[in-house]
Amino acid sequence: MIIDLAGKTAFVTGSTRGIGLAIAKALYGAGAKVGVVGRDVERARSVAASLGDRAAGVACDVAKADQVDAAVAAAEAVLGPIDILVNNAGLTRDNILLRLTDADWDTVLDANLKGAFHTIRSTIKGMMKRRSGRIINIGSIVGLTGNKGQANYAASKAGLIGLTKSVAKEYASRNILVNCIAPGFIETDMTDALPTEARATLLEEIALGRLGRPEDVAGTVLFLASDLAAYITGQVLVVDGGMVI
């Protein structure tokens, strides 16, 4: 096996469906122990059970620091110290700026950006002690390009890039590598709502001529979590089929 994560423990937020689930499956398949993190504990546990006995389901709203700390402690009690943190949980509240409410802004920034701050703060001490760790933040191509109707979401994903680079610099001396993946258009529940016409227009912009699959992102996470990526930190890897070149 080229990528062998046996003995490592991963903690993947928002991993009961979509991209997060594909990431959890890929890490588990490479031999890692996996903390499946969702907002609903029953769902998280049933997804973990479907992966196998090296997985455990825990619940938290990543926007809530105390819940994150408790979920990290619960996962570590069962699986051991977290080596690989994947900040995947995210949501959208799209609207043109003039119609965005404070609640739309706060909900998106609190989950997508503050959530990553919470999980990093909660796990990084252990990584520092062990002088080893990988943190992978799932951003978005719109964090680089911006997008009409997504000022809040794009700001949260751009913020993740600043967070990634800063934490990469702060903890490189402890051998903690921090990177960001910026997916393009991936087929999941999040993008299901897109009207057929908009989907067709988008497809024309993608050089590889197809929408992305959750597994396309999961493969990149696997790479960044592995020894193959031992000399990569503070980077943004775009996984968009050549949508933005």
**Amino acid at residue number 80:** G
Question: Which region among 57-65, 98-106, 124-132, 199-207 touches ligand NAI (by CB under 6 A)?
Answer: 57-65
220 part of the interface to ligand NAI, by CB under 6 A: no
Tokens describing residue 73: 């402690």
Query: φ, ψ for residue 59 (rounded to 5)?
Result: -120, 145
Residues written for the chain: 245
Is 172 in contact with 214 (CB distance < 8 Å)?
Answer: no
89 part of the interface to ligand NAI, by CB under 6 A: yes
User: Minimal distance in Å, beta carbon 115 to ligand NAI?
Assistant: 6
Residue with tokens 């003039």: 98
> Of 88, 122, 150, 220, which one interacts with ligand NAI (CB under 6 A)?
88
The three-point CA angle 155-177-20 to 5° equals 60
241 part of the interface to ligand NAI, by CB under 6 A: no
Stretch 104-163 residues interacting with ligand NAI (CB under 6 A): 111, 115, 138, 140
28 included as an active-site residue? no
**Rounded CA gap, 197 and 183, in Å?**
21
135: which strand partners?
Answer: 85, 178
63 part of the interface to ligand NAI, by CB under 6 A: yes
Query: Left, alpha or beta for 58 (phi > 0: left; psi -120 to 50: alpha)?
Result: beta
91 part of the interface to ligand NAI, by CB under 6 A: yes
State how beta strands 55-59 and 133-138 pair. Answer: unpaired
DSSP summary character for residue 134? E
> CB neighbours (10 Å) of residue 159?
18
User: Minimal distance in Å, beta carbon 131 to ligand NAI?
Assistant: 29
Question: Which region among 1-9, 25-33, 75-83, 180-188 touches ligand NAI (by CB under 6 A)?
Answer: 180-188
User: Minimal distance in Å, beta carbon 31 to ligand NAI?
Assistant: 23
**Rounded CA gap, 177 and 134, in Å?**
5
C-beta closer to ligand NAI: residue 206 or 232 = 206
Question: Which region among 55-63, 76-84, 201-209, 219-227 touches ligand NAI (by CB under 6 A)?
Answer: 55-63
> Of 109, 190, 203, 236, which one interacts with ligand NAI (CB under 6 A)?
190
For the annotated catalytic residues, the residue numbers are 153
Note the residues at the interface with ligand NAI (CB under 6 A): 13-14, 16-20, 38-39, 61-63, 88-91, 111, 115, 138, 140, 183, 185-186, 188-191
